[in-house]
Amino acid sequence: MQPLSPLDGRYASQVHPLRSFFTEDALIRARLFVEISYLAALADEKGIPELKKFSARERKALQAIVDRFSAKDADAVRAIEKKTNHDVKAVEYYLRDQWKKIAGAKARTEFVHFALTSEDVNNLAYGILIQDALRHVLRPELQGIISALRTMASKNANKKMLSLTHGQPATPTTLGKEITVIVDRLIRQYEMLSKFSMQGKFGGAVGNYAAHKAAYPEFPWERFGAKFVRSLKLSPIQWATQINPHDDLAELSHIFVRINTILLDFSRDSWLYISRGVFGQRTVAGEVGSSTMPHKVNPIDFENAEGNLGLSTALFSHFAEKLPVSRLQRDLSDSTVQRSLGVAFGYHLLALTALRKGLRKLVVNKQVLDDELHAHPEVLGEAVQTVMRKNGYSDAYEQMKAMSRGKRMTWESMQEFVEKLEIKKEDKERLMRFLK
């Protein structure tokens, strides 16, 4: 069967690192981990006397269910789901069967999924998977882009270039500084991403431990729940309905929207720099730029990045707007939307892969930088009129405007203008150095 999404077809190898966190099999495995962890936590509590503490052998055997989880096991869960028409209930029944094989007649299978609602398991499973994906794939990939850009900025720190504002020649800048702007913006978002933590809701059908307290009214369920959520390296939610309100996913989505936007900004600027000739691109043997124009070396990596960043942002924006909204105590519309979380992260990762590839091809053309600057001596007008103001010229701006606005200037005419100025000697000498 041909894949419907290019993430599972054309681009499968590039997004493969995310498969451990965002496939259906990964979600089933994470649900099992949550169910087993909850069962073991209950067994450790003296306030639940009917469930005896697990032996070391039992703990090891239960953990092995997760550690050895395979595609065959996931298929077994899916087979159960065909009967239950409920994904989490299928996991519960699968785990009950597995525990019976481990503990035999003494297996207290009724304590599997004890007093829980499916969302208690689902939101914790998603939280674990997302935290792990951030730690193992997404943050390192972003850090790689930041490092590559920082190196590029350092190498080009002193390369002067013509800047364009409104698409028109403006005050000179340096290539290194312009790249550093992107680096600084990305670092700020990376720091937010590093501090971010998924939340965890745990409290039964409508978040008040009603069923739990019906069975064990004296047990400190709120304290137990918070401790259990923290044991999964998630932040406990004290007040919730049936579901995690998904403010965590909205916050995370907004961070990724900003990261995507910054990278899209850089992708478009890189495309324009390539178009101007400021950047050249290393050719790759055997690569074709056009099916009919042999000379073409197209900026396809930056174009691919731009397109995939847009797709990623569209999904993250929808997550941020849709997921925190639920009718009354719960509706199911969030469930189907969350299944596409991996798609948003996949297009983001695909864009980063394209950007890194594009960055490796870039070659700075210093001759073009110099030629562009040399062709526009008028861009030094800002510096000249500012020094004039310092030296008491009240009409400095007006004089420079009359001389340069909409006119083609030469270096000679600018030098002549500065030479006639009645300003401090050191100021004049500094301006003349700029004009040579």
Give the tens place of pLDDT for each residue, 355-376.
999 999 999 999 999 999 999 9
Give the β-pairing of 160-165 and 168-174. Answer: antiparallel
pLDDT tens for each residue of 371-393: 999 999 999 999 999 999 999 99
Kindly state the DSSP code that residue 204 receives in the 8-state scheme.
S
Reduce the DSSP state of residue 167 to 3 states and report it: coil
How is residue 244 annotated by DSSP?
-
Q: Which residues contact 307 (CB under 8 A, 6 or more apart)?
A: none
Burial of 4 (0-12, 13-18, 19+ CB in 10 A): exposed
Q: Is 147 a catalytic residue?
A: no
What does the alpha-carbon distance between residue 341 and residue 127 come to, in Å, rounded to a whole number?
A: 12
Token pair, residue 393, equals 């010229």
376 counts as catalytic: no
Q: How far apart are CA 206 and CA 203, in angstroms?
A: 7
In whole angstroms, give the CA distance from residue 200 to residue 53: 25
Please give the share of the chain, as a percent, with pLDDT higher than 70. Answer: 98
Distance between CA atoms of 324 and 253, rounded to whole angstroms? 12
C-alpha span between 414 and 403 (Å, rounded): 9
Amino acid 179: pLDDT:
98
Count of CB atoms within 10 A of residue 147's CB?
11
For the segment 82-141, what is each residue's pLDDT rounded down to a tens digit? 999 999 999 999 999 999 998 887 889 999 999 999 999 999 999 999 999 999 999 999
Q: Which of 13, 166, 291, 394 is catalytic?
A: 166
H-helix or E-strand containing 58? helix 56-67
* Residue 339 predicted with pLDDT over 80: yes
Give the Cα separation of 94 and 78 in Å (integer).
10
229: Cα separation from own chain's centroid: 24
Residue (of 139, 136, 142) closest to 356 by Cα position: 142
Structure tokens at 372: 């562009």
According to the model, what pLDDT value does residue 286 have? 65
pLDDT score of 293 more than 70: no
In this prediction, residue 266 carries a pLDDT of: 98
pLDDT at 291: 57
* The predicted structure's pLDDT at residue 375: 94
Q: Between the CA atoms of 84, 87, 91 and 97, what dihedral angle is there, to the nearest 10 degrees?
A: 20
How much is the average pLDDT of 336-346? 96
Amino acid letter, 397: Y
- Smallest CA-to-CA distance from 418 within 372, 390, 392, 387 is with 387
From 335, 336, 354, 334, select the one nearest 346 (Cα to Cα). 354
Average pLDDT, the chain: 94
Output the CA angle 344-345-349, nearest 5 degrees.
120
Q: What is the pLDDT of residues 42-92, one digit of tens each?
A: 999 999 999 999 999 999 999 999 999 999 999 999 999 999 999 999 999
Q: Are 109 and 99 in contact (CB under 8 A)?
A: yes
pLDDT at 285 over 80: no
DSSP-H helix ranges across 196-299: 210-215, 221-231, 247-276
Chain centroid, CA 127 distance in Å = 15
Whole-number pLDDT of residue 405:
87
**For residue 296, what pLDDT is reported?**
65
| pLDDT for 186 beyond 90 | yes
Q: Examine the pLDDT at 422 and tell me if it is beyond 70.
A: yes
Burial 202-226 (b: 16+ CB within 10 A, else e): bbbbbbebebbeeebeebebbebbb
Partners of 2 in beta bridges: none
**Domains in the chain with CATH codes:** 6-116 (1.10.275.10), 136-365 (1.20.200.10), 376-434 (1.10.40.30)
Mean pLDDT score, 184-192: 98
Q: Which two tokens stand for residue 395?
A: 């009409």
pTM: 0.94
- Neighbouring residues of 316: CB distance < 8 A, sequence distance ≥ 6: 253, 254, 256, 257, 260, 344
Residue 106: the pLDDT is: 80
Helix %, strand %, coil % of the chain (to 5): 65, 5, 30
Strand 279-281 relative to strand 199-200: parallel, antiparallel, unpaired?
unpaired
Band of residue 230 on the pLDDT scale cut at 50, 70, 90 = very high
Phi, psi (deg, nearest 5) at residue 200: -135, 125
d(Cα 43, Cα 57) in Å, to the nearest integer?
Answer: 14
Catalytic residue among 70, 290, 333, 335: 290
Q: Quick check: 417 pLDDT over 60?
A: yes
**34 vs 292, which has greater pLDDT?**
34
